[in-house]
Amino acid sequence: MAINPQFELRNTAPADLASVQSPGIPVWAPSLKEKVRPPLSADTTADVVIIGAGYTGLWSAYYLLKADPSLRVVIVEREYVGYGASGRNGGWCSAIFPISLGRVAKLHNYDQALSLQYAMNDTVDEVGTIISEEKIDADFSKEGFLSLARSQAQLQKAKAAVRSANDFGLKGQWDLRSREEAQAAVGAHGILGAAYTQHCALVHPGKLVRGLAATVEKMGATIYENTNVVDFEPGQIQTSGGRVTAKYIIRATEGYTSQLPNHKRTLAPLYSLVLATEPLPEATRRELRLDHRFGFNDLRNLRVYAQMTTDGRLVFGGRGAPYHFGSSVSESYDVNDGIHAKIRRTMLDFFPSLEDTAITHRWGGPLGVPRDWHPSVGLDKETGLAWAGPYVGDGVATSNLAGRVLRDLILDKKSSLTSLPIVDHRSPQWEREPLRWLLVNMGLYAASAADVEERLSGKPSNISKILEKLTGAH
């Protein structure tokens, strides 16, 4: 199999997306010249075997080998390095945690919630440090991110976010920006103000995941691509090409976890879809104040996210794609004409003057959502089975933190990281179908309805408040 995914091409795209030549292939995708790694073809042994060659698996391998170069680490990947969310995301390496700190404090305690946010903040810098030390070309740029307020309801939410962080003891985590300051930063339509945080960096996701893979291989790890895990149990995994026996097994499968035996209800795979424009002329970037490298979005309930790449493309993504019955995952879901067209309309709502700008890439992929929206990482010492994720779409940085936690747990090293509230957190199982399908898609519909409510009322949505109470998500 070629390293570049062979997605089914579609000829049914709306006219405004017809310029995309290969729907489903991310702008971050590897070229055909990239290294193709052979599959596992015989039984082997290791100290640690990792299922999944994305950020979680690769960061875990990196920190384990950094701490103990003598370890035998094997990574098995069903497709190729970075095939999943690690090669499809929007490129935000941020300190965002998917549930509110207030919710974390209620589930654990205040000090743990505060420690978690500090750890997330530090993780953004940690990623930058490792990229620099290992000379990984990943287009890393830490300029923060700006959450624009483009309605009165959103402006109230921006003010509330800053006030809430300050009241929690995180003064400076978020800063409020005036209309003039926000407009000077991003030339989007209808800006009334913004909330800004310094704790975010942009990366080229594909370069990062492939650079990490090359780094851990130099350190001694072995990566097998095109190797499907058929089953696993304490002490061994069974793959399409052979058995790997190991004391420790790390499940690092994120949105694809539901495809593993006995994990159908562990998480709900939700799809996030993304567009990339052709490189914008310098004059256009200056006019729209897009000549920067910080992430930005607005404060709507159905999340969107954007960044400018080093070659001048606007990458713009969002949620809203439906959950598929039975937690199914398929390449056919990576392209959705209706949702991609809606994302493009949202992009033009931000920047109407980009109407004639070509969309060159459109793609998507599943992200993992646990029943309580709470990411976790842990190790069962009796069985040697470890896991990390899911991250609810905020995994670029959190996967690095998870890798360091797994290092400490596997090497039996107590640290400040092993006492974080994500460690050994157990999310409840999702409901059985068809209730799961109804609940998840009703939640997506409610988030969309909350945005309509805010446009009509000019106030933060009551629907959104109910959703946050039910899920803890923010």
Of the candidates 285, 319, 350, 289, the residue with the CA atom closest to the CA atom of residue 149:
350
pLDDT at residue number 228: 97
Mean pLDDT of 33-61: 95
Yes or no: say if 286 and 187 are a contact pair by the CB < 8 Å rule.
no
pLDDT digits (tens, 9 = 90+) for 97-128: 999 999 999 999 999 999 999 999 999 999 99
Residue 206 pLDDT > 80: yes
Residue 208 has pLDDT above 70, yes or no: yes
pLDDT tens, position by position, 164-201: 999 999 999 999 999 999 999 999 999 999 999 999 99
Q: CATH 3.50.50.60 spans which residues of the chain?
A: 35-98+205-267+375-419
Q: What is the pLDDT of residues 59-100, one digit of tens each?
A: 999 999 999 999 999 999 999 999 999 999 999 999 999 999
Distances (CA, A) of 312 to 16, 28, 286, 441: 20, 14, 11, 35
**pLDDT band at 469, cuts 50/70/90?**
confident
CATH number of 35-98+205-267+375-419: 3.50.50.60
pTM of the model: 0.95
pLDDT band at 471 (very low <50, low <70, confident <90, very high): confident
For residue 49, how far is the Cα from the chain centroid? 23
Q: pLDDT, tens digit, for every residue of 11-41?
A: 345 677 878 888 999 999 988 667 789 999 9
For residue 31, the model assigns a pLDDT of 80
Model pLDDT, residue 13: 58
What is the mean predicted confidence (pLDDT) over 157-161? Answer: 97
pLDDT tier for residue 10 given thresholds of 50, 70 and 90 = very low
Q: What is the pLDDT of residues 226-280, one digit of tens each?
A: 999 999 999 999 999 999 999 999 999 999 999 998 999 999 999 999 999 999 9
Question: According to the 3-state scheme, what is the secondary structure of the chain?
Answer: CCCCCCCCCCCCCCHHHCCCCCCCCCCCCCCCCCCCCCCCCCCEEEEEEEECCCHHHHHHHHHHHHHCCCCCEEEECCCCCCCCHHHCCCCEEECCCCECHHHHHHHCCHHHHHHHHHHHHHHHHHHHHHHHHCCCCCCCECCCEEEEECCHHHHHHHHHHHHHHHHHCCCCCCEEECHHHHHHHCCCCCCCEEEEECCEEECCHHHHHHHHHHHHHHCCCEEECCCCEEEEECCEEEECCEEEEEEEEEECCHHHHHHCCCCCCCCEEEEEEEEEECCCCHHHHHHCCCCCCCEEEECCCCCEEEEECCCCCEEEEECCCCCCHHHCCCHHHHCCHHHHHHHHHHHHHHCHHHCCCCEEEEEEEEEEECCCCCCCEEEECCCCEEEECCCCCCHHHHHHHHHHHHHHHHCCCCCCHHHCCCECCCCCCCCCCCHHHHHHHHHHHHHHHHHHHHHHHCCCCHHHHHHHHHHCEC
User: Is pLDDT at 403 greater than 80 in this prediction?
Assistant: yes
CA 19 to chain CA centroid, Å, is: 27
Per-residue model confidence (pLDDT) at position 18: 78
Instruction: Give tens-digit pLDDT for 292-326.
Output: 999 999 999 999 999 999 999 999 999 999 999 99
Residues with Cβ within 8 Å of 272's Cβ and at least 6 positions away in sequence, in order, are 88, 89, 90, 317, 318, 319, 321, 364, 365, 367, 393
